[in-house]
Amino acid sequence: MIKRITHVGVAVRNMGISRELFSKLLGNNFPHTEKVEEQKATIAFYPIGEGSIELIESTESATGGSSIAKFIEKRGEGIHHICLEVDNIAQEIMRLKSLGFQFVDDKPSPGGDGCLVAFLHPKSTNGVLIELSQKIESQNAGKV
């Protein structure tokens, strides 16, 4: 089940410059920042109410396999994705596939902020990249 919008991801070329800009804009000089090896990215989260804005900078070139670098080469900096929190990412992937949605990858992978993530292909969502996200600890909830 989809629970809520957790964040809007923004692809940026330079995290330092972008952090300075968004820190001024949002009045927050201390975003949660981390490197996500599996996504070949550095991310910074700016909490706003119950959600956040996530800045995403590639740690690899487009030829190095970075989807963020490819996105920026093709479209420039800007909104990259909308993230939806789900209760059970595996079940949600199966449900959405059964309804004809396509995924970038068939299995969830580790993402930022202690979550498993999976991306729906923009071809099946009117050109919008949708990220499904599940807190890793919630995946084990209820298991003995």
Mean pLDDT along residues 39-55: 95
Residue 142 in this model has a pLDDT that exceeds 60: no
pLDDT digit string, tens, across residues 50-60: 999 999 999 99
Task: Read off the pLDDT band of 143 (50, 70, 90).
Answer: very low
Residue 94 in this model has a pLDDT that exceeds 90: yes
Three-state secondary-structure class, residue 114: coil
Percent of the chain whose predicted confidence (pLDDT) is above 70: 95
Closest CA to 64 of 102, 33, 37, 104: 37
Report d(CA 43, CA 64) in Å as an integer: 18
Report d(CA 75, CA 121) in Å as an integer: 16
- Cα distances (angstroms) measured from residue 23 to each of 3, 34, 55: 28, 16, 11
Report the predicted TM-score, pTM, of the whole model to 2 decimal places: 0.89
Beta carbons within 10 angstroms of residue 24's beta carbon = 10
CB 84 within 8 A of CB 4: yes
pLDDT digit string, tens, across residues 95-138: 999 999 999 988 999 998 899 999 999 999 999 999 999 998 75
Question: Hey, what domains does the chain have and what are their CATH numbers?
Answer: 2-139 (3.10.180.10)
